[in-house]
């Protein structure tokens, strides 16, 4: 039960962070927002390191580094995929791979899932696709390059969960500090690379990107940038995005180490992919964007799946 609560909480916090990152990305390059938010996220993790402690063992450092590189590469590939293909197809594809890859790894390790758990995980994956579905009016076509790029990006996001699962249970937030520092460096380097021409706006979709604070809010008739945004307010949005993203990582790692059940990894990985719920709900509340019937169906299925996983 604690694993489900922490995993779902992490997903919702991720969604909130992506929503804020989306707002900031309307005035700044998404990769720039992602880089700054990643750097900001180091601060609360360092505070947590002082408060609750952490152990920088060789294993904790190694898997923290893997998580950081995996997440950073996932972000950059997601931006690339959404710049060359339709968001409505590639966004859900990325989220599905992020959810399914850790599940497959767990099964290959010999994890046995109950019938109820398998059914709940399947429902959750369907929910991910439905909630992440967004309208795409760019006219972009599906290409093999776009599909492969989105799939690999999803594998990168799934790699974050796999890496955190392999960190020692007594390492505390130490692996998160390593991961965040490396991700900030990787995205920082990408942010200073000259901008290339891509999709107008060039923003990624936060409703589909795990551990992507620099994405953009799903487009809609009311989701238009305001003409005057004060810099201090924009800075606060980016800072809040970074802090929430770091907190989401803490929740996910805590969920992975909340118990000794071998089914913890697949459960957390699928719950983690439900982060679009937080994004689309906040977009509806703050920006008055209307959720489509398909997204509402996805939200209902997501919570049904969460209840099913809690009962397994």
- Confidence band for 213, pLDDT divided at 50, 70 and 90: very low
- Confidence band for 196, pLDDT divided at 50, 70 and 90: low
Helix (H, G, I), strand (E, B) or coil at 265: helix
More confident residue, 92 or 106: 106
Q: What is the pLDDT of residue 197?
A: 46
**CA 150 → CA 6, 25, 310, distances in Å?**
27, 20, 30
For residues 281-297, average pLDDT: 84
Q: What is the pLDDT of residue 139?
A: 61
Whether the predicted pLDDT of 134 surpasses 80? no
Burial of 147 (0-12, 13-18, 19+ CB in 10 A): middle
Whether the predicted pLDDT of 208 surpasses 50? no
Alpha-carbon span 234 to 64, nearest angstrom: 30
Tokens representing residue 33 in the block: 């927002």
More confident residue, 221 or 171: 171
Alpha-carbon span 7 to 256, nearest angstrom: 8
Q: What is the pLDDT of residue 238?
A: 92
Q: Of the candidates 182, 184, 146, 145, which has an alpha carbon nearest to the alpha carbon of residue 163?
A: 182
Q: What is the pLDDT of residue 274?
A: 85
For residues 70-85, average pLDDT: 85
For residues 91-105, average pLDDT: 86
Whether the predicted pLDDT of 140 surpasses 80? no
Whether the predicted pLDDT of 254 surpasses 80? yes
- Confidence band for 220, pLDDT divided at 50, 70 and 90: very low
Tokens representing residue 140 in the block: 């972009």
Alpha-carbon span 279 to 214, nearest angstrom: 12
Q: What is the pLDDT of residue 247?
A: 94
Whether the predicted pLDDT of 236 surpasses 50? yes
Neighbouring residues of 121: CB distance < 8 A, sequence distance ≥ 6: 103, 113, 266, 267, 270, 305, 309
Q: In degrees rounded to 5, what are phi and psi of residue 54?
A: 180, 155
- Confidence band for 161, pLDDT divided at 50, 70 and 90: very high
Q: What is the pLDDT of residue 41?
A: 94
Q: What is the pLDDT of residue 195?
A: 61
If one counts the domains in the chain, the total is 1
Q: Taking the model in full, what pTM does it have?
A: 0.80
Task: Flag the least confident range among 36-40, 177-181, 229-233, 264-268.
Answer: 229-233
Share of the chain above pLDDT 90, in %: 31
More confident residue, 224 or 270: 270
Whether the predicted pLDDT of 270 surpasses 80? yes
CB atoms within 10 A of CB 215: 31
Alpha-carbon span 20 to 33, nearest angstrom: 10
Return mean pLDDT, the chain.
82
Beta carbons of 18 and 213 less than 8 angstroms apart: yes
Alpha-carbon span 272 to 15, nearest angstrom: 10
Give the structural domain span for 24.
Answer: 2-311
Neighbouring residues of 108: CB distance < 8 A, sequence distance ≥ 6: none
């Amino acid at each position: 039960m604690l694993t489900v609560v922490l995993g779902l909480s992490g997903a919702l916090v991720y969604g909130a962070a992506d929503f804020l990152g989306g707002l900031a990305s309307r005035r700044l390059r998404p990769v720039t927002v992602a880089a700054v938010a990643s750097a900001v996220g180091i601060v609360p993790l360092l505070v947590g390191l002082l408060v609750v402690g952490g152990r920088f063992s060789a294993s904790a450092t190694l898997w923290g580094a893997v998580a950081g590189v995996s997440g950073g590469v996932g972000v950059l590939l997601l931006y690339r995929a959404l710049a060359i293909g339709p968001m409505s197809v590639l966004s859900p594809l990325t989220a599905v791979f992020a959810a399914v890859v850790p599940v497959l790894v767990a099964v290959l390790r010999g994890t046995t899932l109950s019938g109820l758990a398998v059914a709940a995980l399947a429902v959750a994956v369907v929910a991910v696709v439905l909630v992440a579905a967004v309208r795409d009016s760019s006219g972009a076509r599906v290409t093999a390059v776009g599909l492969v790029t989105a799939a690999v990006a999803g594998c990168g996001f799934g790699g974050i969960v796999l890496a955190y699962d392999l960190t020692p249970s007594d390492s505390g937030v130490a692996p998160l500090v390593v991961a965040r520092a490396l991700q900030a460096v990787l995205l920082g380097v990408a942010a200073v690379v000259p901008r290339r021409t891509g999709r107008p706006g060039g923003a990624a979709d936060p409703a589909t990107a795990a551990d992507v604070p620099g994405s953009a809010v799903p487009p809609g008739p009311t989701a238009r940038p305001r003409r005057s945004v004060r810099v201090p307010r924009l800075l606060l949005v980016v800072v809040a995005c970074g802090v929430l993203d770091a907190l989401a990582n803490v929740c996910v790692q805590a969920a992975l180490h909340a118990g000794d059940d071998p089914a913890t990894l697949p459960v957390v990985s699928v719950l983690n992919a439900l982060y679009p719920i937080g994004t689309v709900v906040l977009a509806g509340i703050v920006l008055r964007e209307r959720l489509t019937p398909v997204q509402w169906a996805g939200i209902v299925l997501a919570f049904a799946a969460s209840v099913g996983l809690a009962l397994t």
